[in-house]
Amino acid sequence: MADLKIPNLNIKSDKYIFKKKLNLRRKSKKRLFSESFFLFILSILLVYVNYLIPNKNLLLQNLANNINKSFLLLIDLFSYLYEIFLVVFIFASSFIALILIIGSFNRLFRVSKRKSKQINYK
């Protein structure tokens, strides 16, 4: 009788256990007014900073030319990186080939130097 498990109907469903509880209260008029005031001040500040930038028309006219030059420099960068990686590969493969040649000559020297035959017992 002790092994009998009766389901507990008072346990709430775990369906929404990780769901965030949202605050659905409305903001007060005072808070809305202060937020709109801060937004207005920020927009005025951005307009003023934009006004202080000299030669805006010249910058806007040269935008397409600057983008084109940047793209060409990026292509040159990738071509130079290709050449650099190619040189690094040449040095690395030469070094590995030298190590393999030295290892093969070392093995040939050891095999030719062996005087007695080894007998394998099974």
Longest dimension (CA), the chain: 102
Q: How far is residue 70 CA from its own chain's centroid? A: 23
For position 80, what pLDDT does the model report?
93
Domain carrying residue 76: 26-54+63-113
Q: How many structural domains are present in the chain?
A: 1
For position 5, what pLDDT does the model report?
72
In a domain, 15, yes or no: no
Cα angle 113-118-122, degrees, rounded to a multiple of 5: 160
Which pTM value belongs to this model? 0.43
- What length is written for the chain? 122
Mean pLDDT of the chain: 85
In a domain, 12, yes or no: no
